[in-house]
Amino acid sequence: MSLEASCKALGERLRLWLDELEELHRTVIEKPLEGDVVLVDLFSDAADDLLGWVTEASSAAREANESSAYPVNLERARQALRTCHESVIAALERLSSELLSYDRIEELTSLGRERGGSWLAWSKNVKTAAESCRAPAFEVNRAMFGCWQELGERAGTANVSVQATNVGQQITVPASEFAHGRVP
């Protein structure tokens, strides 16, 4: 696969992840009307952050894709992939530590069991929506690796290797310089 195709695939995977995150955000904010719960704010804030990071990653992936098209600008593509990857890492860390951690899922299911009714349905829907973000996140990670692999291969073929061999210097001094004592 070419660098351009890899960057395009990355953009597509990010779009799918973004769709799942938008669904998660909608599910979280459609909480039951009765009562306020801090857990709703935690999930909502995390979903907002994830949307921001993945949107930023998508923009950077588009820039990497543009840079990998003719005429190729490998340095610009590398910088865009770096920005993209930093955003993806931040999103993956937040997803795993804030939304999909055992403790957070336990809090969510406990809330549903304790409050029952519409809170039970809400907690199940949020858990399902959060878990549905996991697979697209892994796909983005795989696509990101593919981009780095293609960039590395492309950069490796674009390098020029120069070897210098030093035979030594040969200095010729006219014989008349020796005769007059000018050369030590």
pLDDT tens figures, 117-134: 999 999 999 999 999 999
pLDDT of 173 > 70? The answer is no
Q: What does the CA dihedral 141, 144, 146, 149 come to, rounded to 10 degrees? A: -120
Per-residue pLDDT of 16-26, as tens digits, reads 999 999 999 99
Task: Return the pLDDT at 58.
Answer: 98
pLDDT of 159 > 90? The answer is no
Q: Label residue 145 by pLDDT band (50, 70, 90).
A: very high
Q: What CA–CA distance (Å, rounded) separates 137 from 118?
A: 29
**Could you tell me the CA-to-CA distances from 176 to 31, 71, 101, 169, 171 in Å, in that order?**
102, 59, 89, 21, 15
**Spatial CA neighbour of 58 closest among 130, 10, 1, 2:** 10
Q: What CA–CA distance (Å, rounded) separates 50 from 95?
A: 7
CATH level 3 topology of 3-179: Methane Monooxygenase Hydroxylase; Chain G, domain 1 (1.20.58)
Per-residue pLDDT of 66-108, as tens digits, reads 999 989 899 999 999 999 999 999 999 999 999 999 999 999 9
**Could you tell me the CA-to-CA distances from 37 to 34, 126, 146 in Å, in that order?**
10, 14, 41
Q: Where are the domains of the chain?
A: 3-179
**Spatial CA neighbour of 41 closest among 144, 126, 165:** 126
- Note if the pTM is more than 0.75: yes
